[in-house]
Amino acid sequence: MKASLVLLTVSIFASALVAAQNVRLCQKMTWWGWTRRYCHEINDPPMDQCINLDKHWNDATSKYTVENGCCAFYRHSGCRDRMFVAMNRGDDYLRAAHRFQLSSLKCARQGCIVGW
Protein backbone atom coordinates (compact mmCIF):
# COMPACT_ATOMS: atom_id res chain seq x y z
CA MET A 1 0.00 0.00 0.00
CA LYS A 2 2.77 2.44 0.95
CA ALA A 3 4.70 1.59 -2.22
CA SER A 4 1.71 2.37 -4.44
CA LEU A 5 1.08 5.64 -2.62
CA VAL A 6 4.73 6.66 -3.09
CA LEU A 7 4.60 5.67 -6.77
CA LEU A 8 1.40 7.68 -7.27
CA THR A 9 2.95 10.73 -5.56
CA VAL A 10 6.11 10.48 -7.68
CA SER A 11 4.14 10.16 -10.93
CA ILE A 12 1.96 13.19 -10.07
CA PHE A 13 5.06 15.23 -9.24
CA ALA A 14 6.83 14.13 -12.45
CA SER A 15 3.85 15.06 -14.62
CA ALA A 16 3.82 18.53 -13.05
CA LEU A 17 7.44 18.99 -14.13
CA VAL A 18 6.64 18.45 -17.82
CA ALA A 19 6.88 21.79 -19.57
CA ALA A 20 3.72 23.13 -21.16
CA GLN A 21 3.50 23.24 -24.93
CA ASN A 22 3.43 26.71 -26.42
CA VAL A 23 2.70 27.89 -29.96
CA ARG A 24 3.41 31.49 -30.90
CA LEU A 25 2.10 33.02 -34.13
CA CYS A 26 3.16 36.49 -35.25
CA GLN A 27 2.08 38.88 -37.99
CA LYS A 28 3.79 41.96 -39.28
CA MET A 29 1.79 45.12 -39.95
CA THR A 30 2.98 48.33 -41.54
CA TRP A 31 1.24 51.73 -41.29
CA TRP A 32 2.63 54.94 -42.68
CA GLY A 33 6.16 53.56 -42.75
CA TRP A 34 6.01 52.13 -39.21
CA THR A 35 6.27 48.38 -38.84
CA ARG A 36 4.92 46.53 -35.83
CA ARG A 37 4.81 42.81 -35.07
CA TYR A 38 1.80 41.39 -33.21
CA CYS A 39 1.92 37.92 -31.68
CA HIS A 40 -0.65 35.46 -30.38
CA GLU A 41 0.23 32.63 -27.97
CA ILE A 42 -1.61 29.35 -27.71
CA ASN A 43 -0.62 27.78 -24.39
CA ASP A 44 -1.19 24.05 -23.97
CA PRO A 45 -3.27 23.59 -27.14
CA PRO A 46 -5.69 20.63 -27.05
CA MET A 47 -3.73 17.58 -28.19
CA ASP A 48 -4.46 16.14 -31.64
CA GLN A 49 -7.44 18.45 -32.18
CA CYS A 50 -7.83 20.92 -35.01
CA ILE A 51 -7.54 24.58 -34.00
CA ASN A 52 -9.07 27.00 -36.52
CA LEU A 53 -7.64 30.51 -36.37
CA ASP A 54 -10.08 33.39 -35.94
CA LYS A 55 -10.58 36.15 -38.52
CA HIS A 56 -7.73 38.26 -37.11
CA TRP A 57 -5.15 35.47 -37.54
CA ASN A 58 -6.49 33.52 -40.53
CA ASP A 59 -4.08 34.01 -43.45
CA ALA A 60 -2.06 36.58 -41.46
CA THR A 61 0.89 34.66 -39.93
CA SER A 62 4.43 35.51 -41.05
CA LYS A 63 6.37 33.99 -38.11
CA TYR A 64 5.82 31.04 -35.75
CA THR A 65 7.46 29.13 -32.88
CA VAL A 66 6.58 25.71 -31.45
CA GLU A 67 7.96 24.84 -27.99
CA ASN A 68 7.76 21.45 -26.24
CA GLY A 69 6.04 19.48 -28.94
CA CYS A 70 5.03 19.23 -32.56
CA CYS A 71 2.40 21.04 -34.64
CA ALA A 72 1.14 20.60 -38.17
CA PHE A 73 0.12 23.79 -39.99
CA TYR A 74 -2.67 23.82 -42.58
CA ARG A 75 -3.67 26.11 -45.43
CA HIS A 76 -7.43 25.76 -44.86
CA SER A 77 -9.74 25.60 -41.85
CA GLY A 78 -10.67 22.16 -40.57
CA CYS A 79 -6.99 21.14 -40.81
CA ARG A 80 -7.10 20.57 -44.56
CA ASP A 81 -4.15 20.84 -46.96
CA ARG A 82 -1.16 20.44 -44.64
CA MET A 83 1.69 22.82 -45.48
CA PHE A 84 4.37 21.74 -42.99
CA VAL A 85 5.13 20.18 -39.60
CA ALA A 86 7.38 21.74 -36.94
CA MET A 87 8.80 20.08 -33.83
CA ASN A 88 10.44 22.35 -31.24
CA ARG A 89 11.40 25.00 -33.77
CA GLY A 90 10.28 28.22 -35.37
CA ASP A 91 10.76 30.39 -38.41
CA ASP A 92 11.30 34.16 -38.19
CA TYR A 93 9.97 34.72 -41.69
CA LEU A 94 7.94 32.05 -43.46
CA ARG A 95 8.82 31.41 -47.08
CA ALA A 96 6.46 32.84 -49.69
CA ALA A 97 4.54 29.58 -50.25
CA HIS A 98 3.51 29.52 -46.56
CA ARG A 99 3.51 33.19 -45.55
CA PHE A 100 0.01 34.57 -44.89
CA GLN A 101 -1.52 31.15 -45.72
CA LEU A 102 -2.01 29.57 -42.27
CA SER A 103 -5.65 28.88 -41.31
CA SER A 104 -5.51 26.01 -38.81
CA LEU A 105 -3.14 23.81 -36.83
CA LYS A 106 -3.00 20.56 -34.86
CA CYS A 107 -0.50 19.82 -32.07
CA ALA A 108 0.87 16.99 -29.92
CA ARG A 109 3.30 17.13 -27.03
CA GLN A 110 5.00 13.74 -27.51
CA GLY A 111 5.97 14.22 -31.15
CA CYS A 112 4.51 14.45 -34.61
CA ILE A 113 1.63 12.12 -35.45
CA VAL A 114 1.99 10.24 -38.72
CA GLY A 115 -1.65 10.63 -39.86
CA TRP A 116 -1.51 14.43 -39.86
Domain span at 66: 19-108
As a whole number of angstroms, the distance between CA 102 and CA 53 comes to 8
| Cβ atoms of 105 and 58 closer than 8 Å | no
- Report if residue 36 sits inside a domain: yes
- Report if residue 113 sits inside a domain: no
- Residue 24 bridge partners (DSSP): 41, 65
pLDDT in the model for residue 3: 53
Number of domains the chain is built from: 1
The answer to whether the pTM exceeds 0.85 is no
Read off the pLDDT of residues 34-92 as tens digits, 9 standing for 90 and up. 788 899 999 999 999 999 999 999 999 999 999 999 999 999 999 999 999 999 999 99
Q: Please list, in sequence order, all residues whose beta carbon lies within 8 angstroms of the beta carbon of residue 28, skipping any fewer than 6 positions away.
A: 35, 36, 37, 62, 63
Other Cβ atoms closer than 10 A to 23: 23
As a whole number of angstroms, the distance between CA 45 and CA 109 comes to 9
- Report if residue 9 sits inside a domain: no
